[in-house]
Each structure stands twice: as structure tokens, then as C-alpha cells.
Structure 1
Amino acid sequence: MALPSLDLDLHGSHVLITGGAGLIGRVVVDHFVAAGARVSCLDISYSTEVNPECKSHAPYTQIHCDVSSEDSVQAAFETATSTHGPVEVCVALASLDFSVLQHSSFVDASFMQLKRTLDVNIAGTWLTAREWLRGVRKAKQEGKKLSNVNLIIIGSESGHFGERQNAEYSLAKSAVQGGLLMSLRAEVVREWPGARVNAVAPGPVDTDRWTEECKQNPEQYYLEAQATTALCQPVPRGAVAKAILFLASDNFSSHVHGQVINVDGGKQGKVVWTKEEVA
């Protein structure tokens, strides 16, 4: 009896990652490159000038993309496809997070920040998903062979539990890991048999920025990563990346579809009142 293959089988697959230059995105990119994938890394921080190396078939390509712009998303996918072929795995990671959002009580919340967050975190994910699925449809019409055809949406624990002082972030994450995910669950299989869509919802991730924030506010570590978290520690970036790779691999997750995978250390909710507030 032959033993089963425990290979991710991602070698040669074209993986497109939005927000690939971010603190989490960089680690996700590294994991896919290590798995042998051809990676298109999209980020708003990259130059708008097309790098001449994009025409080569190196396994990794950086492409400028503003996910809140329809034209920018379409142009980025065109560059990625002309370089590495049709996008098979799409990781919609780009979003505005707490490092750039202002925190305030809801009564003092900024309407402009709400609109910007919805443009990037919801519309940007929507545009990314649509462009990926359009490419899948075109590949099918042209009779091309694809593998590991799936979309992975990056949500958040905030989409489950809410986020006091940043309702706009919670609203956006619940939209993409809820309504958008459930809608695409029934859509993608109509464009490519066996295509899948799932979401990863991380808890507090142990980035350099989060560590610095905890130094400035020592209570943050306890409140976010211990008080309501069974494993009593923040989530390593590699744990998020490996969950994404698991979902990307048909060999490992071929029948995981329409699911939210919580990578949060057993998060049970949010602390509502601190001792100081109660006092």
C-alpha cells in the first residue's frame, strides 16, 4: 500500500497576494516562495513603474496596486498574468489595520475614516476576488489547466467580536468573512469545478509594531492576548502564513470550502471593562 503524499503540491502554482509588503504579508510571501510557488506580490508601497524584471519568469514579482482602485487592481492582475500565467491561488490580505486607523469612541468616530476603510477593506477585497474569478473564467474558456484554484480572504477576530473604538474595522472584516465569503461559496464552483474560497481570521498577531504598542501600553498584551485567549499568547506570523498555505493546497484542504479558519489561540471574546474603568 502506497503512503499518502504529504506535499503541499504548490510548486509552480501562481499565487497572487495583495498587501504582500506588510508586516504579515511579507511572511506569507516567504512561505509561498519556500513552497515553490510563483508569487505575484501586490502592494501600494511599490513603484507604479513596471519593473523590467516582470517580463522574466522569476518565481517572485513585485507589482504596484491600490486595491481600492478598480483600474489599479485590473492593471496589477494583467501584469501578474502576463508574467506568471493565470492566477490560481489568490490571497486577499491588503487592508487598513489598527496601525493606521485612529482610535476613538463611536460618538467621536470619523466618517471619512469609515469610508476609507470600506473602500480598502471591503471594496478592495471585492475587487480582488472579482478579478481573480474573471481570470479563472478566462483560463477555463481558453482550455488552460489550473491547480489549487482558490481564494483566501483575510478576516479578523474583530469580525466575530467587534472592536470598541474601531467599529469601522470590525464592520469591514465581518462583511468580507461573512456575507462576501458565503456569497462566493456558491459562485466560484460555477466558474471552475472544485474552486474554493475560505477565510482566515487571526487574533492579535505578534508583529514588530504590535510589540512596540505593547511596550507603550503594557496592559495591551494582557487584554488582547491573554485575558480571553486560551493559549495565553499572541499569534506568530508564521502560524497565520501556514494556515493560509494549508487552505491554498488542494492536497491538504480540497474539501474545506466556505469556512472561516480562526487562528487566534482560542479567543473567546473581548474584555469589556478594565479594572480602572470599573473603579
Structure 2
Amino acid sequence: MNGLSLDLGLAGRSVVITGGAGLIGRIVVDHFLAAGSNVSSLDITYPKSEPTHARPAFKAIHCDVSSEESVQQAFRQASTAHGPVEICIALASFDLSVLKPSSFAEASLSQLKRVLDVNITGTWLTARAWFQGLQQAKQDGTALQHPNLIMIGSESGHFGERQNAEYSLAKSAVQGGLLMSLRAEAPRVWQGARVNVVAPGPVETDRWHEECKQNTEQLYLEAQATTALCEPVPVKAVAMAILSLASHNFSSHVHGQVINVDGGKQGKIMWTKEEVAEHRG
């Protein structure tokens, strides 16, 4: 048992987190800071002028992940602040709480395009910037410690979203074709580099509680009826899954996987009792 350590091994590591000012992102940022990492938090809500922060390990950077120029500039700022990016958490995306639901026949093409721009193109650009950083570090002879990329998927990528097909489509692309492609690519760019996806279920954010007040059936339909643990997912549980997956000490050979943090969710309810009664007349 000599030499056994439960240290995450994340202290001093250069970490980029996109969507870092969001309801989940800010908790993920706090967890990496608590682990001793140097965190660059990228978010479109941050001002373009650099804010001053008392914590040298934290840097807030304005970034629109749907813009190639913005992503590249943000990664340059992150590398200047904390060195080449070793760990990248591609978390920024539109979620269901900000999307307008509708029947597919009435679905909005403009909403589809915006979701694809942010949730797919944004993740693609973020991943590419991380890959480019690995290439540059190799060319410069810079030592990196176990680089890895974690992209954020969703239960919707598995089960679909009846009134928001665009969201499900985007998450499926990330945790399907993009993950499988990068799984093969990353170790060729840097030996041992890993890529994985964390796919949360219904996450218990402040916005979740507001939505449950507006729709009293949401808790049951989304987080109880089809979920083995019969409860929504705490934000901390998502953050800890990401932290563990980012740690070489804890997850050194987890690669190319979708890690579901969903309380054992098995699907979506197809029909409510009211809909069945109406449908059958």
C-alpha cells in the first residue's frame, strides 16, 4: 500500500472551461479551483475588456464559442495566463430552458441553426483549439501532464426531445460521431491524450426549481418516472464526474466513453395520462 494516493493530481494544471459563467459551469469552475487548478473560464457573458480578479488561479475571458476568431483569441489568452491548455471542458451550449419548444411541424429553422452553431460548431471549435494547442506544445517541446478533453452531452442525445429535436440532434452529434472521431485522433496528436463525454440527466439548477414551480408535473415526468434514483441530478454530481474524468490518477484509461450522470435514467415518458385520454377519445 506504500505510495497509494487519492490525490486528483489536478493542482497547477491549466484548465479551460467554456460556459464557465453558467449555472453548471460556475460550479465546475469552483471545483477545479478547489482542486488547485489554474482555470480560464470562457463565457459570452463576460465583458470583452478584461476584468480584474483577486484570484491569480482564475481568469475570466469573453468568448463566443460559435465564432472561430473568438475561440482562438480566448485560447491564446488562456495560454498566456496559465500556460498551454492541458484540460479542456467543452461545456458551453444552449440548453432546453432557453429554447422554445414546439411540434416538429412548427419547428423553427432559425432556432435549429443557432443551436447547431453553438452546440455543435462551438464544441467542434473548442475541441480543435485544444488539439492545436497540443500540436504547438509538441513543436515547442513543452511538457504537458496527461492532456484530456471532456465534452458535455445530454440524456437527450440518447432519448431524444419530442418538442426540441434540434437540441437532441446536436447532443447526439457531440456524443456520437464527434467523440468517436476524436477518440481515434487525440492519441495520435499527443501520446495518452484522452477524450470523453459527460452526459447529464435533469440537473437540479436554480432554473430547474423555477421550471418545476411553473410546471408541477416536471419533477415527476423528467426526474422520477423514468429515473432509477427518483430524483434530479445535483449540480455537484456533474462537477465531480467531470473532475474525476479529468484526473489521470482516477481515470487514466477511460477514453472515448460517454459517462451518463443521470441517476439511471431509462428514457422519456411518451404519453401523459391526459394525452392518452385525449388521443383515444
Partners of 1:42 and 1:126 in 2: how far apart?
Answer: 15
- Alignment CA distance shift 1:57-1:134 (3 Å): farther
CA pair 52-26 structure 1, distance change in 2 beyond 3 A: closer
Q: Distance in 1 between matches of 2:195 and 2:263?
A: 23
1:204 to 202, 205, 211: 202
User: 2:12 corresponds to which residue?
Assistant: 12
Aligned-partner SS, 2:149: strand
Residue matched to 2:89: 91
1:269 to 249, 267, 272: 267
Distance in 2, Cα, partners of 1:69 & 1:172: 17
Equivalent residue number for residue 176 of structure 2: 178
Once residues 185 and 146 of structure 2 are traced to their aligned partners in structure 1, the CA distance between those partners, rounded to angstroms, is: 17
Cα-to-partner distance string for 1:149-179 (whole Å, 9 max, x where unaligned): 0000000000000001000000000000110
* CA RMSD between the two structures: 1.1
The residue number in structure 1 matching 2:22 is 22
Contact 1:57 1:83 in 2 (8 A): no
Q: Confirm or deny that 1:101 pairs with 2:99.
A: yes
User: Which residue of structure 1 aligns with residue 236 of structure 2?
Assistant: 238
Q: Please identify runs of 4+ aligned residues in structure 1 that moved more than 2 A.
A: 50-53
Tell me, yes or no, if structure 1 residue 123 matches structure 2 residue 152.
no
1:67 partner SS: coil
Distance 2:50 2:227 in 1: 44
* Aligned residue type for 1:266: G
Distance 2:69 2:195 in 1: 24
Q: TM-score, normalised by structure 1?
A: 0.97
Corresponding position of 2:137? 139
Quote the Cα distance in structure 1 between the aligned partners of 2:97 and 2:65. 18
| Contact 1:18/1:41 (8 A) holds in 2 | yes
Alignment of 1:33-48 (within 5 A): 33-48=33-48
Q: CA deviation at 1:145?
A: 1.1
Cα separation, 2, equivalents of 1:78 and 1:12:
18
| Cα distance between partner residues in 2 of 1:78 and 1:260 | 29
Q: Deviations over 1:252-275 (max 9, x none)?
A: 000000000000000000000000
Shift of 1:148: 3.1
Q: Tell me the SS of whatever aligns to 1:99.
A: helix
Deviations 1:112-153 (A, max 9, x none): 000000000000000000001100110111111111300000
Q: Offset of 1:52 from its aligned partner?
A: 5.8
Deviation at 1:57, TM superposition (A): 8.4
Structure 2: stretches of 5+ with no match in the other structure: none
Unaligned regions of 5+ residues in structure 1, if any? none
- 1-structure distance, mates of 2:192, 2:163: 40
Partner Cα distance (1:137, 1:250) in 2: 20
Conserved in 2, the CA contact under 8 Å of 1:148 and 1:248? Answer: no
Superposition map of 1:212-251 within 5 A? 212-251=210-249
Q: CA deviation at 1:71?
A: 0.4
d(CA) in 2 for partners of 1:57 and 1:187? 35
Instruction: Please give the alpha-carbon distance, in whole angstroms, between the structure 1 residues aligned to 2:70 and 2:50.
Output: 13
Distance 1:57 1:225, change over 3 A: closer
Kindly provide the CA deviation profile for residues 217-276 of structure 1, in whole angstroms up to 9, marking residues without a partner as x. 110000000000000000000000000001100010000000000000000000000000
- Paired residues, number: 277
